[in-house]
Structure formats: structure tokens, C-alpha cells
Structure 1
Amino acid sequence: MTADPDTGRPAEDAGYRARREAEVRHLTSGLTDELEDWILAARRKDPWEKHRSQIESAARVVSGALRRLQELPPAEHEQRAPELVLDLHHLWDFFRTKLLARHIPRYRTFLDAADELAWAVYGPVRDAVPDRSGLKEPPLVFLNRHPVPFATPRGSDFEDLLPAGRQRTLGGRRASRYLPFPLVGVPWSAGHHLPTLLAVAHETGHHIEDDFALAEPLRTRLEERSGLAEEGIARWKGWLGETFADVCATLACGEAYVWALGDMLNGAGRTGGTGDGTYPPLRTRLLVCRAALATGPGGATPVLPPLGSPQPEDTETEAVVAALTGEGFAELGGATLGSLIGLRRTDGLGEAVDRLLAGLWSRRGDVTGVLAAATLAFVRSPRLYDGQGVGDRALAEVLSLVPDGPRAAPAPDTEPARRDDTAGRELLDLLVSGG
């Protein structure tokens, strides 16, 4: 029995080459067709229209990898394509499963409202950026097993967030370094308790810092405008990211965020309540929020949760918040955070709370206002909140405010499109080389 010199298989298996070529063609075209189906679905009205920029971005990355796959030498392409396509499927599944969860009505209502809150905080800042050529996709909220909300920035390594088993190959593990748009993870249980939703505003604050290059300006402001001694500056540098995110959430959701934060940290008993290198103590975080409230559009400081025992940094919080937010950011066209994301008509929150507890809609007309009023209704009377179904009604009211069209305008043939295609090609090279 003679052997084929190219494959080492028996010569009479002459049809293997044709079968292998067809198999590879089926696998690659199958993934290509699925990506095209998702893009077409995102360009129709419902249910994926709101996620158009995110779907197109993720699909461009995988499509770029598939195009690079086709450029491999024929023999290598034939040999390795099935394994490489499987890794690309696993990476694509990271995005696919988060989107498909929105097909389940109970999860869709919560996730759509969470996405709208993230967009209400992120969108005005995005729109203020002077350079429109590099518009970025907004954060996508997803439910996961982590006990506390978290932010995963674009461009980061997301292997730890992949489904059980992670990537099939070492190269696949190395290739999960590129996240094309930011994510906000919230616990599965959060979908059953609306006040937890306000944490999305905090996590979106992290993405604002990352996406719009504010980290260095914030450090400069702390060093040059806070008036703190060297020891205080060093302490607050470690807390700067969390402090900025708390300020963003407080400006966007007002006193409601402060109550939600206090409940979450008091109940969890985690590091964010006691203070460490990243998180200030709970009392300090609440004082930061109080200082941020005073700088917001309402300019008032309402009654807040108990603050706990005095801390050495108590006298520093107002100076820190003023340094970070007192002036506009050149990166945001000179606008201040308060002017972009500050909660409006704070004096009308009381009336909105009354309406919700009476079984009516809040009539706020703004996503952050509805969610803030619902949270304050829970703070005022958990019993009435439950009895009147305030949580479900507030979510329904938020969704009634959503306009038609995608959240973020698509950006074909621009820097994001080129970025995603390049990332996909680099991703395939990582898979081929084994990382």
C-alpha cells in the first residue's frame, strides 16, 4: 500500500483532500455568515438596533481574523483552520451570549434599562469630545456571577470572563487580550433589586476616565489644585479612580446614588467599606459624594446616610472634589462634568417619589431621574415600594423614554473600523503563533 507523499495517508484515500477543503470552507463560511447575520440584525429596528456599534465592532474584530486566516499558505490553512475557527467561535461567543440574554424578557427589561443608564452617563461626555473621528462604542452591561459590579475597559484582557473552559488553545488564551468595547458586569441578583442598578453609573465613570484620557488630567488636578500636603496627595492618588467614579455617579443620580452606595457597602462588608489602596473608607466615599452633590446643578446637600466614625481625611474630601471637578476639561471641549451629566430638576425628586409610591409613573422624563426617584422611594418606604411595584414600573418608564435608533452612530471607514480590523488580524496571528 503506497502513501500520499503530502499527507502520509493511504493513496487510495484520494478524496480526503477534497473533503478537507470542503470542511474548512464550511467552518469558515459558517462563522462568516453568522457575523453577517448579526450585523444585518443590528441594522434592523428591533431588538438589536441599540447595540449596533457594539455588534459591528465585535464582528469586525472576528471578521478581520477570518480574513487573515484566508491569507495563510494553503497547506497551513487547510491543516489549522478548524482549530483556529473554533477559537474564534469561543471569542465571538463571549459577545454573543451577552447579547442573547436580552432575548429573555425578564433579563431584557433590566439590561435595557441598565444600558440606558450607562448611555445617559457616557453619551453626553462622548458627544462633548472635540475630535469626532474616533467616536467610541458605549459600555455594554451584562449579568455575571461576580458578587459586586465591575468595569472592564476596552482593549483589556478578558480571558477570565470567558465561559468555563476558557480558550481551547494556548494561542486562544493569549488572543483574548483585545476587548473592542467596554463592559459593565453586574451580579445576576441585581436584576431583582433596582437600587443596585445605580452602580452602573459608577462603573461607567471608570469608562469615562479610560476612554477620554482623563487619568493624567485628574492626577495633575489633584497635585496642583487640591492644596493637600504630600502625604494626602499620595493617599488620594491611590483612590483617584474610585473617587472619580463616585463623583460621576453622584452627579448623574444625585442623593439616590449615595443611599444606594451606603446600603451596598454596609451590606456587603467588603473592602470598599473599610478602605484599602484602591477604595477609600465608606465614610470618606460618602463625604466625597456629599461634596459632589454640592457642586451639581442643584447645589444642595440633602440628608444622607450616617457617615460613621471620623477619619483623618475627612477635611480633605471637599478640596479633592473641587480640584477634580471645579473646571472644565480640555479633553471634553472645556465642559465640566456637572454640565454634561449632572442630574437636572433635583428639586422635583420629592414629587416623583410621591407619585411612584402612589402607584403612578414619576413623570420625570429622564432616565437618571426615574431611577433616582425609584431608589429614593425604596429608601423612604421599602414596604410601599414593594406593595406598589415601584421597581418594575420604574423600569417600564425608563424604557418608554428610549428613542428610536442606535445609541451610538455607527462609524464605518473611520478609525474605530480600522482599529477593529487590525486587532482581528493581530488576533489571528497570535492564534497561529500560539501566543
Structure 2
Amino acid sequence: MSLRERKLAELADQVRGVDADFECWLEETADGKPLRKHNSQVRRLTEQLRGLVDVISAEMDAIPADGDEVLRQCRKVQRRVLEVHRIWDYYRSKLGQRYVSWYQQYLAAADEFTWECYRLGAEHLGKDTALVFLNGDFSPFTLDRGRQFTPERAGGQQSIEYLRFVTELPVPVIGLPWYQLAHLADMVLVAHEVGHVVWTDLKLGSEAETHLLGAVADLPGDRRDAWLYWGPEVFADLYGVLAAGPAYASALADLLAADPDKVRAEFPPESAANDHPPASLRIALVTKALRHNGFVEAADTRAAAWQENYPSSDPYLDDVDLVVPALLDGAYEGFQGATMLERVRFSQEQERQAALTAHAAAVGQSLTHTEDVRALVAAARLAFDRVPGDAEPQRAIVVKIQSVLDNRRRNEARRTSVPSSNDRAAGAALHALFEMTEKNS
């Protein structure tokens, strides 16, 4: 066999290896497998990347086998294959965390809580919810659908695009801090990140801005502009507290707790300095939303506790009574004409179940009050508030959630998706971007 024939055979093996890897991961989404709940995400991702592989294969097939063109083109094809792996590895590495035994219960709970929060607002879209993973950021964050990202640098090597390649996320991701593995009480904060995904998927920005503008139109220009600038983050906080109830407000308060001088210095705010409103304003927003949803006592308790540690007064705080009702009671086309409060709600009964579960966990009793995952995740926060020095209640609750998921696994069908021709087309479009970037480099 000649050198040229060997290079063609080598390239064929490398291209086949991509498809083989995809098939192995898809097999791991079968019933009883670790990625059973991720079938639709894996299928969507691999189908898009297969569109790219199809173009690479066609390029390889067009290389004459009897000339030096094989040697000229082989490195280009190999780099294309590696780009596919790099894009896939952005997700593959996150899916792979589910194979670490001591991460499994936590991530299973986070996956289900993410889905339960997402389905409140956007189940009718039939889209995949976000892929949750653990990372080194201080607080949870989201890269929502359509957000551009750069695949990780592989082994310190420059790619053919000199790391300038970007593409759109077909599946959103939510990153959680590593230390939350040992602190289930903060999982309620995921509801905020889901709010960002819902905001993007339902294209709520324009309607939310209209609702906000109607509420703050008469305010001084700097305050009005600040509220419009903060719109996505305000929406996400309100989504979080509606999806998880008083437990969300508790976790948010602990997340925002910092040096009192720094918290006080956030007023008067500069909207362009931070995507988020000041900490005291965020607490005022979520406590107002709690009252709006009937949790008056919990709201008063949370507001008083924050004010005790971070006393503040600012005209922005007066605006909360305008902003919250505008966003909660305004109708959204994305919510099929419903209001946010009508579509996204943590009920009084769920709060009662969460409180009973938190008490039972704190005193070592059986957890028999609910199998509602949102209520159980809220209970983990409430249990921490009761006995913050005792990790056992949180461990008991994560075991309970795993039991609930095991029961569901036996009785529910997997969430699956049917690949779309648009997925393959999107993958093929990546190749055109490769070509364009290479020509410009």
C-alpha cells in the first residue's frame, strides 16, 4: 500500500471514529443507562455535528487517490475532524460528569429540577432544557440557546481558525459551582438560570420591556433606563422566586451577603456597571414577588432580616412596587397569552409540603410528604435554614429525590426527540464558517 493510500485509509478511520463516538453516547441514553434523561439533548447535538461530518466525508471522497492532492489535503481534513471533536467535547465533558458516582445523585436532582422549572413556562415549545454541569464559577450561570461560545482550546494547539471559530449553542448550559455538591440548599438558585433560558426561548424581551416601560415611564430618565437595562435579570429573579417560593429568596439572600460597606456602596446604582440590580434591590424585588404570590409572612421575615444586616433607603426601592406587578401581571405571547404569575407558580400547598419535609429531615423522620421535586429542592433550603450546621437533612433529601426519580424511571417514558433536517443543515453551515474563517486568516 502506498503512502497516499495509507493516508486515505487513515482519514477514513478518523472520520468513522466521529460517528462511532456519537453512536456510543447515544447508546448511553437508552433505558437504564446513565444518560437516559439526556436522549433528546445528545440526539440534537450529534445530529447537528453529523451535518458537519457529512461535508467532511464528501470532501475526503473527492480527493484523487493517485496524486499529491492526498498529501495536500490530509492535514486540512484531520483538522476539520478535530474541530468536530472540540465542539462535541464542549458538551461531552459535561455529560461525562454523570459517570462520576459521587456526582450522580446531585446532578440527577439538578437535571430534574431544571426540567421542572423549565416546563412551567416553556414545555409547549417542545425544546430541550438546559444541560447542567459543575464548574469553577462563584455562582450559577447560563449560556442560553443561541449564545455564541468558543470551543475549548485543545492541548494548547492553535486550530485552523486560530481559535476564532464561534458557533451557536444548540442546547443551553447551566454551570453550577463545585461547592454546591455539598450544599443542596443552594440548588433553588438554578431556577433563576432557567428563567434566562425561558426568556430566550420564548423571546420575551420585547414584551417584558413594554410592560416595564409602562410601569417606569414617569420615573427620572436614569432610573427608567436602569430598569430597562436590568430587565433580563429582574425577570430571572422573579422566575426563580415563582418557581421555588420562599426558599429561593432565602438562598438568594445568602448568595448576595457580602461586606456591608460594599453592599451599601451599590446605591446609587450605575446600570452600565453591572447587569444585575444592587443586592438590596434584588431582595426587595423577590420579597415583593412573594407577597404578590401570597407568601406575605415569608416576605416580611426575609425583608426584615436583610434590612437588619444591610439597612438601606434609595428611590430605586420605591420603584419595586411598580416593576414587579408589571412583569408578573402582564400577558406574554410566549406564555400563550397568560401572565407570568399564571404560568409560573410555587403554590401554598407546595410550600406546606416543603416545610413538612424540611422538618422531617431535620428531626430524622421519614420523608413521605411529597414527591414533587420542586418542593423537595425547596425543602433542602428550608431544612438548612432550620439546622444550618447539620448536613444530614440535605443528604436525606437528595436520597429522597433519587428515590422519586427511580420510581419515575420505572413508570415514565424517556423524553426523546426526532432529528430535524434543520439540524443537519446547521451542521453543514458550520463547515462554511470554517472555510470562510480559514480564508480570512
TM over 0.5: yes
Alpha carbons of 1:362 and 1:356: their partners in 2 closer, same or farther (altered >3 Å)?
farther
Q: How much is the aligned-residue C-alpha RMSD, in angstroms?
A: 2.5
- For the residue of structure 1 that corresponds to 2:163, the secondary structure is helix
Question: Map of 1:361-376 to 2, 5 A cutoff?
Answer: 361=367, 363-376=369-382
Paired position in structure 1 for 2:281: 284
- For the residue of structure 2 that corresponds to 1:290, the secondary structure is helix
- For the residue of structure 1 that corresponds to 2:181, the secondary structure is helix
Paired position in structure 2 for 1:253: 244
Q: Deviations over 1:312-334 (max 9, x none)?
A: 11111121010011133221212
Of the three residues 415, 423, 428, the one matched with 1:420 is 423
Paired position in structure 1 for 2:89: 93
User: How far is the alpha carbon of 1:64 from its aligned partner?
Assistant: 0.8
Give, in whole Å, the separation in 1 of the partners of 2:297 and 2:421: 46
Contact 1:298 1:347 in 2 (8 A): no
Of the three residues 188, 191, 205, the one matched with 2:178 is 188
- For the residue of structure 2 that corresponds to 1:434, the secondary structure is helix
- For the residue of structure 2 that corresponds to 1:186, the secondary structure is strand
Contact 1:226 1:322 in 2 (8 A): no
Asked if 1:41 corresponds to 2:55, the answer is no
Give, in whole Å, the separation in 2 of the partners of 1:147 and 1:115: 20
Amino acid at match of 1:51: H
Give, in whole Å, the separation in 2 of the partners of 1:270 and 1:46: 51
Give, in whole Å, the separation in 2 of the partners of 1:30 and 1:242: 42
Paired position in structure 1 for 2:383: 377
Paired position in structure 1 for 2:119: 123
Give, in whole Å, the separation in 2 of the partners of 1:37 and 1:256: 40
Give, in whole Å, the separation in 2 of the partners of 1:18 and 1:272: 68
- For the residue of structure 2 that corresponds to 1:143, the secondary structure is strand
Of the three residues 53, 56, 60, the one matched with 2:40 is 53
Amino acid at match of 2:53: L
Contact 2:361 2:394 in 1 (8 A): no
Paired position in structure 1 for 2:159: 169
Of the three residues 172, 193, 211, the one matched with 2:201 is 211
Asked if 1:111 corresponds to 2:130, the answer is no
Contact 2:358 2:393 in 1 (8 A): no
Q: Deviations over 1:322-361 (max 9, x none)?
A: 0011133221212333333311212444322211111132
Give, in whole Å, the separation in 2 of the partners of 1:178 and 1:166: 23
Paired position in structure 1 for 2:66: none
Paired position in structure 2 for 1:139: 130
Q: Deviations over 1:399-420 (max 9, x none)?
A: 22232356644133xxxx2332
Contact 1:238 1:277 in 2 (8 A): no
What is the TM-score of this pair, normalised by structure 2?
Answer: 0.86
Paired position in structure 2 for 1:293: 290
Q: Deviations over 1:339-398 (max 9, x none)?
A: 333112124443222111111326222111111111111112213x33xx1111111222
Give, in whole Å, the separation in 2 of the partners of 1:289 and 1:341: 14
Paired position in structure 2 for 1:434: 437
Q: Deviations over 1:182-231 (max 9, x none)?
A: 11011111111112222211111111101110011100110124564252
Give, in whole Å, the separation in 2 of the partners of 1:390 and 1:180: 37
Asked if 1:411 corresponds to 2:418, the answer is yes
Unmatched 5+ stretches in structure 1: 1-13, 130-134
Contact 1:70 1:77 in 2 (8 A): no
Q: Decide which moves more: 74-83 or 275-284.
A: 74-83
- For the residue of structure 2 that corresponds to 1:246, the secondary structure is helix
Alpha carbons of 1:280 and 1:271: their partners in 2 closer, same or farther (altered >3 Å)?
farther
- For the residue of structure 1 that corresponds to 2:17, the secondary structure is helix
Amino acid at match of 2:115: W
User: How far is the alpha carbon of 1:261 from its aligned partner?
Assistant: 0.8
Give, in whole Å, the separation in 2 of the partners of 1:163 and 1:398: 37
Paired position in structure 2 for 1:318: 321
Q: Deviations over 1:152-185 (max 9, x none)?
A: 01222221x6266577414273433221111101
Instruction: Name the count of aligned residue pairs.
Output: 409
Give, in whole Å, the separation in 1 of the partners of 2:90 and 2:134: 12
- For the residue of structure 1 that corresponds to 2:142, the secondary structure is strand
Contact 1:110 1:191 in 2 (8 A): yes
Q: Decide which moves more: 190-199 or 200-209.
A: 190-199
Alpha carbons of 1:172 and 1:399: their partners in 2 closer, same or farther (altered >3 Å)?
farther
Amino acid at match of 1:197: M
Give, in whole Å, the separation in 2 of the partners of 1:428 and 1:128: 32
What is the TM-score of this pair, normalised by structure 1?
Answer: 0.87
Amino acid at match of 2:48: V
Give, in whole Å, the separation in 2 of the partners of 1:343 and 1:124: 10
Give, in whole Å, the separation in 2 of the partners of 1:101 and 1:172: 28
Q: Deviations over 1:48-96 (max 9, x none)?
A: 1100111011111211110011222424764521121112112111111
Contact 1:87 1:168 in 2 (8 A): no
User: How far is the alpha carbon of 1:423 from its aligned partner?
Assistant: 2.0
User: How far is the alpha carbon of 1:19 from its aligned partner?
Assistant: 0.2
Give, in whole Å, the separation in 2 of the partners of 1:77 and 1:42: 36
Give, in whole Å, the separation in 2 of the partners of 1:165 and 1:93: 13
Amino acid at match of 1:382: P
Of the three residues 346, 354, 362, the one matched with 2:359 is 354
Contact 2:356 2:369 in 1 (8 A): no
Alpha carbons of 1:332 and 1:347: their partners in 2 closer, same or farther (altered >3 Å)?
same
Asked if 1:68 corresponds to 2:55, the answer is yes
Asked if 1:398 corresponds to 2:401, the answer is yes
Give, in whole Å, the separation in 2 of the partners of 1:112 and 1:100: 13
Contact 2:50 2:424 in 1 (8 A): yes
Give, in whole Å, the separation in 2 of the partners of 1:240 and 1:370: 29
Q: Decide which moves more: 93-102 or 164-173.
A: 164-173
Contact 1:253 1:368 in 2 (8 A): yes
Give, in whole Å, the separation in 2 of the partners of 1:90 and 1:343: 40
- For the residue of structure 2 that corresponds to 1:173, the secondary structure is coil
Contact 1:128 1:335 in 2 (8 A): no
Give, in whole Å, the separation in 2 of the partners of 1:166 and 1:270: 42
Alpha carbons of 1:128 and 1:334: their partners in 2 closer, same or farther (altered >3 Å)?
farther
